């Protein structure tokens, strides 16, 4: 098991290096940089801009820039954000934390609702329960995060039960820690629900078909033949085996979740990585874009890593291979 974990961890390093290289190359192909707009400002002399460019190594070829960037990353330093004028490290980690919290709660909502619904639909196959569940999942698969986010904004504005966007109230800094925590949670609920709603359908369908597959298996028939109760057969025999394939889609659902979070963050003004990426993109703050992409990838790769470990833990065939 430890060998398995170690091997998977080692696998992540070249992947992240490759991703950062690709993003760096793409950003170097981008026309203009952060200082292009500054050049138009007659108050800033060309010498100042040249000096600033040299300070950020923007006057060097992209691979040299990459090496500088890589060296500072190894020291745990994500550089200095040109547009925000603060060290990028604190910025990135604050935003990463917000995206993580948003995705994490969305995932809990989604799995918490989708698994029981999927089981219910499979047990009541071909009844109105099953049909309405499959209708909901079709609708859920087809509805875009954009529409859901816009509807959530409308809902917040119409009922005033939830704040309209953002992660904290204007007077957040004046609150006691407990109030701050509640304020953050209050802001979190709506975006997390939106994100969960778009993720729910796929998991529910998967759970339903997994359980149906195992219910057809021979050991289930054998259990029934031995005279076990239907509840015992489903929850003790079938369900345990239907959960395994779900762990594999955990990784896929995480990728969808991160892309969904990108949209939700941008519409509902949730200060996460996706929103930061767009802000950095518009400001042409190229290092910050690279940082965001690498961190988002790291989050996804780490999630897949956890899914792999869970899978290996629950299925010995995988860890012994």
Chain residues that interact with other proteins, rule: CB under 8 A: 15, 18-19, 22-23, 26-27, 29-31, 138-139, 141-144, 146-147, 150, 153-154, 156-158, 164, 255, 258-259, 262-263, 266-267, 274, 277-278, 281, 286, 289, 292-293, 296-297, 300-301, 304
The smaller minimum CB distance to other proteins, of residues 149 and 223, is found at 149
Task: Tell me which DSSP letter residue 44 carries.
Answer: S
Check if the beta carbon of residue 291 is closer than 8 Å to that of residue 221. no
Shortest reach from residue 156's CB to other proteins, in Å: 8
C-alpha span between 220 and 211 (Å, rounded): 11
Which residue, 23 or 247, has its beta carbon nearer to other proteins? 23
The distance of closest approach from Cβ of residue 226 to other proteins in the complex, given in angstroms and rounded to an integer, is 29
The residue among 32 and 316 lying less far from other proteins, judged by its C-beta, is: 32
Taking the complex as a whole, the smallest distance from the CB of residue 134 to other proteins amounts, in Å, to: 10
CB 278 to other proteins: min, Å: 6
CA-CA distances (angstroms) from residue 45 to 38, 41, 67?
10, 8, 29
Closest CB 131 distance from other proteins, rounded Å:
11
Residue 148: Cβ-neighbour burial (10 angstroms; 0-12, 13-18, 19+)? buried
Nearer to other proteins, 80 or 262 (CB): 262
Q: Exposure string (b/e) for 221-249, b if CB count within 10 Å is 16 or more?
A: eebeeeeeeeeebbeebbbebbeebbbbb
Tokens of 13: 């390093």
């Amino acid at each position: 098991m430890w060998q398995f974990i170690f091997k998977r961890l080692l696998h992540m390093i070249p992947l992240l290096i490759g991703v950062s290289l690709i993003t760096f190359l793409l950003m170097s192909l981008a026309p203009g940089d952060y200082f292009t707009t500054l050049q138009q400002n007659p108050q800033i002399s060309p010498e100042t801009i040249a000096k600033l460019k040299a300070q950020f190594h923007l006057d060097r070829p992209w691979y040299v820039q990459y090496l500088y960037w890589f060296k500072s990353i190894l020291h745990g330093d994500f550089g200095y954000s040109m547009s925000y004028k603060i060290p990028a490290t604190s910025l990135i980690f604050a935003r990463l934390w917000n995206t993580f919290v948003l995705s994490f709660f969305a995932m809990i909502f989604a799995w918490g609702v989708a698994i029981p619904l999927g089981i219910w639909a499979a047990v009541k196959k071909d009844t109105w329960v099953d049909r309405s569940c499959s209708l909901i999942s079709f609708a859920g698969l087809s509805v875009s995060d954009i529409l859901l986010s816009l509807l959530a904004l409308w809902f917040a504005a119409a009922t005033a039960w939830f704040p309209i966007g953002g992660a904290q109230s204007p007077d957040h800094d004046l609150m006691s820690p407990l109030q701050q925590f509640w304020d953050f949670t209050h802001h979190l609920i709506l975006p997390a629900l939106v994100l969960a709603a778009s993720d729910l359908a796929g998991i529910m369908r998967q759970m339903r078909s997994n359980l149906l597959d195992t219910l057809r298996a021979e050991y289930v028939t054998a259990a029934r033949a031995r005279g076990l109760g239907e509840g015992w057969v489903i929850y003790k025999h079938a369900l345990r085996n239907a959960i395994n394939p779900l762990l594999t889609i955990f990784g896929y659902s995480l990728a969808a979740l991160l892309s969904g979070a990108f949209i939700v963050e941008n519409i509902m003004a949730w200060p996460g990585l996706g929103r930061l990426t767009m802000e950095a993109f518009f400001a042409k703050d190229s290092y910050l874009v690279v940082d965001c992409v690498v961190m988002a990838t790291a989050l996804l790769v780490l999630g897949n890593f956890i899914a792999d470990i869970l899978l290996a833990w629950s299925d010995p065939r995988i860890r012994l291979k």
